[in-house]
Structure formats: C-alpha cells, structure tokens
C-alpha cells in the first residue's frame, strides 16, 4: 500500500497538526432528483488535532462515493469493469453499445463519476441480455416503425413472461 499523502497543515487554524483519524461522517447526496443521506461510520480522513477540521482527500472521497453507491443500489466501479471484461468488451466497445463517451465509461470504472440511475439500469440490462447487446450493436434493430403497432386490449392483461431480473447481476463476474 502506498503512503497516503495529505497536507499536514490545517486549512483553518494553520497549525501543522493534521493526522489521519477515524470519524463517523454523514453527508447528503443529490442524485437523479433524490436526496440520499449517507453515513460512513468509520471514515479514515485527515483531521486537524488542534481544531478538528477534516479535509476530504481523494481516498476519503472514494470511501464516501462507495458508501453512496451501496446506499443508492448503483453498480460499483469494480462491478462495471468486471462485467465488461467478462463479456470480452473493451471500454470503447461497451461505450459504443451504450452511446456514451469512452471517457465517461472510464470515469465510471475509476469511480471518478457516478452513473445516473437510468444508465445504471441500462448497464445492467446490457450485461444481462445478449439479445439487447446484439440489438444495440446493429442500429437497424432499433429502427422504429412509422406507426406504433396496435395493442389489443387483452395484451395488457397478460401475465408478464418470466424473465431474468436486473437485480440478478452477480456481484462478481468471476
Ligand atoms: Zn486546525
């Protein structure tokens, strides 16, 4: 493990008294129009022993972001990467299927950016359904007819067919 680097000088009281400490940290996230209160009970973070000010560094933000993803039920960076690799897709390949920029997908996989819930579901669907990946790979498959097909009333009353659930994405692709 590499040495965790942070400024020893407090940004508030200017004392060189900042050391790593374990704190219970609560923060509110706004994501997709919802608020989430996220608590990390054992956040290891640079903290001034003189005035108590904490400084969120990269590692602390990574822990907070991971806690938020768990709370919101979003795929972790590791899950996204593992499922992509298990399907033999490059970052560019998966980004093309989803029509997102490869830099965006890369940020999801490093944890620098948190995917919107709709894209999280799109990712899960693309991981679970080979037919969807196939359709996404061929643009003509997504061409809509001029007119939507007419639905018979009875079609709305049929039981939905058994299908794999999006929740069944295993934690590990291994
Ligand atoms: Zn201080």
* Res 174 pLDDT > 60: no
What is the C-alpha separation between 154 and 68, in angstroms, rounded? 42
For 14-60, the pLDDT digits (tens) are 999 999 999 999 999 998 889 999 999 999 999 999 999 999 998 99
Strands, E, within 32-148: which ranges? 34-48
- Closest to 169 (Cα-Cα) out of 91, 33, 71, 78: 78
For 98-108, the pLDDT digits (tens) are 999 999 999 99
Centroid of ligand 1 to alpha carbon of 48 (angstroms):
5
Centroid of ligand 1 to alpha carbon of 127 (angstroms):
47
pTM above 0.75, yes or no: no
Centroid of ligand 1 to alpha carbon of 9 (angstroms):
8
Domains of the chain: 18-72 (3.10.20), 77-138 (1.10.260)
Centroid of ligand 1 to alpha carbon of 32 (angstroms):
35
Provide the token pair at 120.
């999280």
Q: What is the mean pLDDT of the chain?
A: 88
Residue 54 DSSP class: B
Residue 113 DSSP class: S
Centroid of ligand 1 to alpha carbon of 37 (angstroms):
26
Q: What are the start-end ranges of the H helices in 14-173?
A: 58-72, 77-86, 91-98, 102-110, 117-128, 130-137
């Amino acid at each position: 493990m590499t040495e965790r680097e942070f400024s020893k000088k407090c940004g508030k009281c200017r004392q060189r008294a900042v050391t790593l400490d374990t704190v219970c940290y609560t923060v509110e996230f706004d994501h997709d129009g919802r608020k989430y209160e996220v608590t990390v009970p054992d956040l290891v973070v640079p903290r001034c022993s003189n005035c108590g000010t904490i400084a969120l560094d990269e590692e602390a933000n990574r822990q907070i972001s991971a806690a938020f993803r768990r709370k919101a039920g979003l795929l972790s960076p590791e899950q996204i990467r593992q499922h992509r690799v298990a399907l033999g897709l490059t970052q560019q390949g998966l980004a093309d299927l989803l029509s997102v920029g490869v830099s965006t997908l890369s940020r999801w996989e490093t944890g620098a950016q948190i995917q919107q819930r709709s894209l999280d579901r799109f990712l899960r669907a693309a991981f679970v359904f080979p037919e969807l990946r196939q359709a996404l790979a061929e643009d003509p498959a997504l061409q809509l007819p001029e007119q939507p097909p007419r639905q018979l009333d009875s079609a709305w009353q049929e039981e939905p067919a058994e299908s794999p659930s999006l929740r069944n994405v295993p934690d590990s692709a291994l």
